[in-house]
Amino acid sequence: MSILAPNVQKGDVLAQLDATDYKNKLAAAQSQVRPLKAKCAGGAQEARLSSLLKQGFTTQLAYDKALLALNSAKAKVDQAQANLRLAQDQVNYTTLKADADGAVTAVGADPGQVVNAGQMIVQISQLDAREAVFSVSERAVAIMEPG
């Protein structure tokens, strides 16, 4: 992981993880979608058997098998496309971008450190926002009322 500039603008890259593994998963997911889509093109078999069934030249069982194969292929394509979207999201998650203009006020990770999901990496203080810190005892909070 590498951490960049102290003053940032919205959209600036703040930190980046090594995306090699995620890009490999993305390539694998892409390679699974293509052949499954080709199997779905076999829907012509179902259409052909449907026409033959209506004319009485094939059995209901043969048509049902073709329909089942087509529906199964479509389900596999849907699953592969969901895996592809997940892999694309994971590649996108390797880059942390600033959501607003501001200044970096805290860094929660060192360059090269392995980080966990949910770990604070960079804290940004917005330049146009007002921030305040209050230190109030628990007793005082218990007797306070809104307003």
In terms of C-beta density within 10 A (0-12 exposed, 13-18 middle, 19 or more buried), how is residue 90 classed? middle
Are residues 126 and 100 in contact, defined by beta-carbon separation less than 8 angstroms? yes
What's the whole-number mean pLDDT along residues 45-72?
A: 92
Backbone angles phi, psi at 124, to 5 degrees: -115, 135
Say how far apart CA 128 and CA 18 lie, in whole Å.
33
Tell me how many domains the chain contains. 1
Q: List Cα–Cα distances, 54 to 61, 65, 99, in angstroms.
A: 13, 16, 60
- For residue range 86-131, what is the model confidence (pLDDT) as tens digits? 999 999 999 999 998 888 888 888 888 888 888 999 888 887 877 7
pTM of the predicted model, to two decimals? Answer: 0.69
Structural domain including 109 reads 2-143
- 3 state DSSP class of 73: helix
Q: What is the pLDDT of residue 25?
A: 95
Are residues 15 and 2 in contact, defined by beta-carbon separation less than 8 angstroms? yes
